[in-house]
Amino acid sequence: MFQLSATALNHLLTQSGWALQRLQRFAGKTARFNVAPFSFAWTVQPDGSVLAAAANASPDVVCNIAPSLLPRLALHDEAALSQIHSSGDASLLAEIFYLSRHLRWDAAEDISHVTGDVVAERLVQLARAKQQQVRDSSLNLSQALAEYWTEEQPLLAKPAHIASFVSQVDKLRDDVARLELRINRLTKK
């Protein structure tokens, strides 16, 4: 299974070209990725490709990724990258994170081998349009639900009400502190 993931990654690296060149300087280094309950490692080859490493291979880099981060990482959420716990060779880690930000699959190139260039481009455009439509629909639905639950059926507090409440709590805390000081002064007399 993990050899299959190495094959898929090698396909992406080869498709981009520039990525292989960037990884060549890390030849022989191994990166381990722990995504509960799985753990896998890849070793960088002299040509920049990767090979699934042996289970007992000593890693130069270890990345612990919470399974809940995977959907966010798939959507290229920058904040999700900062929640990955990593250790080891800093330059290899920097390269892994750089590749995760910039390496993209050219779906049209792969599809064109089966359908031809024009059809492949149209299919990719259609997929992107549908993806954007789903994102827009999700955003609209979440905004409508938030408005419904704050205006029609108050299940959620409005941000302005929360800010006002926090401000009142802060004022009350300060008033209690001043009252405590006065009581202390009066009891000392």
Model pTM score = 0.60
- In the numeric block, the tokens 């699959």 are attached to 105
- Strand pairing partners for 44? 50
CA 136 centroid distance within chain: 20
Q: Rounded mean pLDDT of 138-155?
A: 85
Which of 81, 54, 85 is closest to 70 using CA atoms? Answer: 81
- Rounded CA-CA distance 144/147 in Å is 5
Percent of the chain with pLDDT over 90: 33
Q: Rounded mean pLDDT of 80-95?
A: 89
Average pLDDT along the chain: 87
Please report the pLDDT score of residue 2 as a whole number.
57
- Rounded CA-CA distance 99/91 in Å is 12
Percent of the chain with pLDDT over 70: 98
